[in-house]
Structure 1
Amino acid sequence: MNRCFAVVGNPGGRRVTLFAEAVRAAGLPAPRVVAWLDVLRAGGAEFGAGEIVRVDSPGEDPEVDLLLRDMPDPTRVEGTARWYRRFTAALGTLRGGIRLDGTDDVAVMFDKRRCHAVLAAAGVPVPESPTSGAAGAPVRGWDDVRALMRGHRMPRLFVKPAHGSSASGVLAVDSAGGGRIRATTSVELGPDGRLFNSLKVRRYQRERDIAAMVDALAPDGLHLERWVPKASQGGRAADLRVVVVDGRATHAVVRTSAGPLTNLHLGGRRGDLAGTRQAAESAGLRWPEVLGICERAAACFPDTLCVGVDLLPAVGWRRAFVGEVNAFGDLLPRLTGLPGSGAEGLDTYAAQVAAALRRAPLTGRPGPHHPHRTGTTHASA
């Protein structure tokens, strides 16, 4: 049976464009693009038995966002619970084809409480959380956050929308001396209490403002995590985004920031990967162990070809924790594969095309799937 690619995404968007370029660069016909807008309006989509189907993010399209959240202003933060219900339902309407993702995997990754519990159960190091899993504490508003901070001795923590992404709605909360509270976030609090996404990182120091934001976010579900003091590079907080393709860590980027939010679109900068490896190994944390943590996290989602893992190295570079696992964490243009990863010279999309073809060759039966390889070695970055 002849194979070809299809992608569910937003036509003309960066992600679909980069994936299509990778498919064509492999000498294959351009993938069939199935628009999220059409999927949502038609109630699903059908794929042929020989189509290798990549599901991409529905983000960055105002019409799609409106159908998923019923929020006329796409810059608003609220509505993520409705988005989650409709998005996961839409995943279930994609029928046929050879999927490169698992619907259940994606549903777990987009619920930070469930994702944290799955990782913890697998022995993956994660920050402490009182809201992890089905038995986690409910967060109905700021009063609950305050109580959990006291009860779990968490003077510093992250408050995250359970179904959010790209740091939208995330607050890094720090209880300073004298009972004072401050929060660092990209949320803009409007005078009428509405919340807006912003590319400007703000610091709020009035507790009533912080309480207003948390109370507005709580109906959509919140996840709390202990704030892990991060290692530094060049005097800036540092973490890593590691892309794992078919069980193997293939790409990594260091992100640094003067504050707790390192996301590149919020002003974070790319750091020195070689320097990161040297710092970790000097502290006794071997680089294969660093990448192995990310591979173990990815192994919790065996039906999904590619995930992006946010790795948080602690102060001193002796330990590292997984902050999040992202279903669509591969948008790292021009970043090529790690030496020894098998993806040298390939960007994240080309690496996925190659891995997908190993799983499902152009003709014949699907190839073997290795969701997790142990003992993988990685040469110097």
Structure 2
Amino acid sequence: MIVVGTPGDRRADLFGAAARTHGLGEITVVPWTHVLTGGPLEFSGLVRVDSPGESSEADTLLRGAGDPARAGGGATWYARFMAGLGRVASAGGELLADVAEIATMFDKRRCHAVLEEAGIPVPGGTTVGSYEELREQMASRSWPRVFVKPAHGSSASGVIAFETSGTRLRAVTSATEDLRNSLAVKTYRDERTVSRLVDALAPDGLHVERWFPKASVAGGCFDLRVVTVAGRPTHAVARVSRVPMTNLHLGGERGDLGAIRGRLGDRWDEAMDVCARTAACFPGSLMTGVDLMIGTDWRSMAVAEVNAFGDLLPGLGALDGSGLTTYECQAKAIAAGWRSCAT
């Protein structure tokens, strides 16, 4: 079995262990750097595509030379990543994730359009090409609060939670003024600074979402990362944060999922159904990572994003009580005969 990824990366190691446990044998890791530099490719059997995100060398090949911590460069990254995926798809073998579906998941604008067409609840969205256009769109739509997201970004890179009230404004982001990603979330209130940030990110494409007020628990607001395997929700983690971005690497913490399930009651089944219907939009992908928001009324829901590589959740047991990890559930599904049903 082939894994296109990064040798020594946690994802490859964890999936490799799961593959052995479930009788799939040893995996062979083909580095993304090999794919992106045009190395010869010829696959047979099953092929798993993993994230290139843990490799600084792959990042240079995808975005060009520069500080790996910088925000931006998403359009170049996306174009080169898709070219690499095209090479993988043409190399033979049977992919466990459909290339066209990965392309959709990595374009927030297209992903929201697909979900909306399928009747999946999503926040209202639009695209803008500048700070001036952002303010115009917010005014015309009566949206005082929005999330501004690079169309092809991940891990909250360059994401700005932006709100206005009269002449006052506030922007919360992990991006520094020189467009570097920081683990310390910052707040800007100076319009000149915010305008410069938005205009610097705009050439790569911006997806703007109407702010969906999220429910809160002790510790802050939360959302759910729900992993689906073979179309079924198998794992969930509550990500709790005192800032608008709930990403764990930005200070978010794992919340008490049991307490949240108890508070939701029958709505928990509805939430899992939303995630299953979201996964059904990507039938060629063995796994999806669905970011589901629960509203402040504990009744409304909306899908914020769908992640092609959203299964790195060490130590998280399955919802069915089996104790299986995200990777073990995938290996089990493969061993049971799961194959892509993308057309």
TM-score by length of 1: 0.87
What is the rounded CA distance, in whole Å, between the counterparts of 1:223 and 1:44 in structure 2? 36
1:53 corresponds, among 43, 47, 50, to: 47
Contact (CA 8 Å) 2:150, 2:206: kept in 1 or not? yes
What SS does the aligned partner of 1:308 have? Answer: strand
Contact (CA 8 Å) 2:267, 2:299: kept in 1 or not? no
Segments of structure 2 that go 5 or more residues without pairing to the other structure are none
What SS does the aligned partner of 1:130 have? Answer: strand
Structure 1 counterpart of 2:197: 213
1:320 corresponds, among 287, 292, 301, to: 301
Q: Do residues 21 (structure 1) and 2 (structure 2) align?
A: no
Contact (CA 8 Å) 1:71, 1:79: kept in 2 or not? no
Show the 5 A alignment for 1:324-335.
324-335=305-316
Q: CA deviation at 1:88?
A: 0.8
What is the rounded CA distance, in whole Å, between the counterparts of 2:134 and 2:62 in structure 1? 28
Segments of structure 1 that go 5 or more residues without pairing to the other structure are 132-138, 361-365, 372-381
1:297 corresponds, among 254, 266, 278, to: 278
Structure 2 counterpart of 1:67: 61
Instruction: Encode CA deviations 1:196-226: one digit per residue, 9 max, x unaligned.
Output: 0111111111111111000000000000001
1:40 corresponds, among 33, 36, 39, to: 36
What is the rounded CA distance, in whole Å, between the counterparts of 1:188 and 1:127 in structure 2? 26
What is the rounded CA distance, in whole Å, between the counterparts of 1:357 and 1:103 in structure 2? 22
What is the rounded CA distance, in whole Å, between the counterparts of 1:322 and 1:43 in structure 2? 38
Contact (CA 8 Å) 1:310, 1:323: kept in 2 or not? yes
* Alignment-mate amino acid for residue 351 of structure 1: C
1:99 corresponds, among 91, 95, 118, to: 95
Structure 2 counterpart of 1:135: none
Q: Do residues 167 (structure 1) and 145 (structure 2) align?
A: no
Contact (CA 8 Å) 1:130, 1:152: kept in 2 or not? no
Computed over aligned residues only, the root mean square deviation of the Cα atoms, in angstroms, reads 1.4
TM-score by length of 2: 0.96
What SS does the aligned partner of 1:92 have? Answer: helix
Contact (CA 8 Å) 1:308, 1:327: kept in 2 or not? yes
Structure 1 counterpart of 2:129: 140
Contact (CA 8 Å) 2:19, 2:328: kept in 1 or not? yes
Structure 1 counterpart of 2:70: 76
1:349 corresponds, among 327, 332, 336, to: 327
Structure 1 counterpart of 2:173: 185
What is the rounded CA distance, in whole Å, between the counterparts of 1:78 and 1:247 in structure 2? 32
Contact (CA 8 Å) 1:246, 1:370: kept in 2 or not? no
Contact (CA 8 Å) 2:24, 2:335: kept in 1 or not? no
What SS does the aligned partner of 2:82 have? Answer: helix
Structure 1 counterpart of 2:241: 257
Structure 2 counterpart of 1:230: 214
What is the rounded CA distance, in whole Å, between the counterparts of 1:93 and 1:129 in structure 2? 32
Instruction: Encode CA deviations 1:315-353: one digit per residue, 9 max, x unaligned.
Output: 02111100000000001001111027xxx2210001111
